[in-house]
Structure formats: C-alpha cells, structure tokens
Amino acid sequence: MPSARSSRQVDGRARSQSGKQRDAAPDAEPAPHAATAKPSTIRRELVEQRIMEVATELFAERGFAATSLGDIAEAAGLTRPAIYHYVANKDELLARLVHEKTEEPAILLRLINERTDLGPTEKLRTMATEIARGQTQSPARFRLLVRSEAELPEQLSEVYQQSRRNVLQEFVRVIDDGIASGVFRPVDPRIAALGVIGMLNWIAWWHHPSASDSDRVIEQLADMAVQSVLHERDGTHYDSGPLRAIAALRNNLDYLERQFGGGSKG
C-alpha cells in the first residue's frame, strides 16, 4: 500500500505535466492574425492597383487639375474617407507615377550596368528589354506622365527630370563601353542613346497592353537597339570594299575628334 508521501509526489507530477500541456496548447494553433496577414496585404495591393488605374484614366480624360480625389474614390468603388487609407492626395499619385516610370527604371539600368558577368552587347540588350517590358505593361501611365510634366509640383518635377537624365546616362555609359571595347561602332554615344530610348518609349503610343505579341515586340525592339550600334561583321550596305573602308575611317575619325575635344573649323 503506497504511503501518503508517495501519493503526493505522484499527484504533483501529474499536475506539473498537465500544466505543461496547457501552456503548450496555445502554441499548437497559429495566432488569429497570422492567417489573415497575407490576404490583407494582397487586398491592399489590389486596391492600390485599382486606384492607380482609375486615377490614370481620369487624369488622362479630365486632366490632373479637374480631377478630385473624391472622383477617383467614386470610380474605384470607395468612399472618400476610405481612399485616405491608401493615398493622402493627388500629388502622391503623381509621385507614385514618377517613381514607377522613371526612378525605378533608372535604378534597374544602373544595376544592369554594374553587372560583371555581362558584356556591353548583353547589357544593352537586357536594358532595352526591361524598358520595353515596362512600356508594354503600362503604356497609359507613361503617356499620362509625359502629358502631365507641366503640372508636376516643383520638387517632383526635379525628381522626374533627374531620373530621365539618369536613364540617359546609363544608356550612354553602356554604349560608350561598347565602343571602347570594340564591339560597337564609334558613334556618338549620346545621340545613339537618345535614339534607343525614343524607340522604346514610343511603344507607349502604339502598343496595347493586352496584345498577345508583347514578348515578340520586346524581343525585336531589344534586338534593334543592339543592332543600331553593333559593328557590321557580316555584309554591309556599301557595294564595294573601298567605300566601306572610307565610311569606317570617317566614323573612327569622328570618334577620335570627340574623344580629344574636337578642333576648330574654317
């Protein structure tokens, strides 16, 4: 027959184990907010995307000044108080457009240019591909931004203009590197860069984002960007060897003149 002391020890151990099980029980189920955090984030992103789409349409249709935040809220299916959970004012929407269409591309191009595993040809093709992809995905936003340049607040306008200069600088940089390494023709890097950028930006005026041939458009224009500066290794538009040699010599002399500051004429 067990003693009273043994019984108390057994009861103590049982209570201890039961307490541990109770303490561990809450950990067996996730916190209520954990299951809803991701859907909540996704919903917010979807609503913000909808607000941007509606704002783009209304700004393009009525103009920035004639469109109120209330108009945007109504078109997006939100109350005016509710829209303030996603955006503070119209200027913030424009700021998002500037960030998306100029600041982000400039940063992306710089990162591509800094890659050591790509040569100038691959860098230029990748850069052109990324810019073309952005234009095929949201052409209306780019068109709106271009048309709204004059209405941008001063500080935002400075960011916009600087970002455009940064985009140009990155294209000039890769073309210049290609010329120095001998894979690109000795063209004027700035003129060539402006030509490539203009070709890619023009997508926003003629390509529809729902078109099924977006990948083909992107690939072809990226190839055209590279071919516009690539050395002609096979064949030429000149009929004879001497003409081709003279043209190449002129290009090389022009390049040397630019590199060494040019000279006086006349």
Tell me the pLDDT of the chain (266 aa) as tens digits.
555 454 455 455 545 554 544 444 444 344 444 444 455 788 888 999 899 989 888 888 888 888 899 999 999 999 999 999 999 988 888 888 888 888 899 999 999 999 999 999 999 999 999 999 999 988 888 888 888 888 888 888 898 899 999 999 999 999 999 999 999 999 999 999 999 999 999 999 998 877 678 999 999 999 999 999 998 763 344 444 565 555 556 665 665 566 666 544 44
In whole angstroms, what is the distance from residue 44 CA to residue 209 CA? 23
Burial of 161 (0-12, 13-18, 19+ CB in 10 A): middle
Model pTM score: 0.68
In whole angstroms, what is the distance from residue 127 CA to residue 231 CA? 19
Decide if 97 contacts 141 (C-beta within 8 A). Answer: yes
Domain borders along the chain are 35-88, 94-231, 234-266
DSSP string, 49-78: HHHHHHHHHHHHHH-STT--HHHHHHHTT-
H or E element at residue 181: helix 154-181
* Range 35-88: architecture per CATH: Orthogonal Bundle (1.10)
Which CATH number among 1.10.10.10, 3.40.630.10, 1.10.357.10, 3.40.50.300 corresponds to the domain 94-231?
1.10.357.10
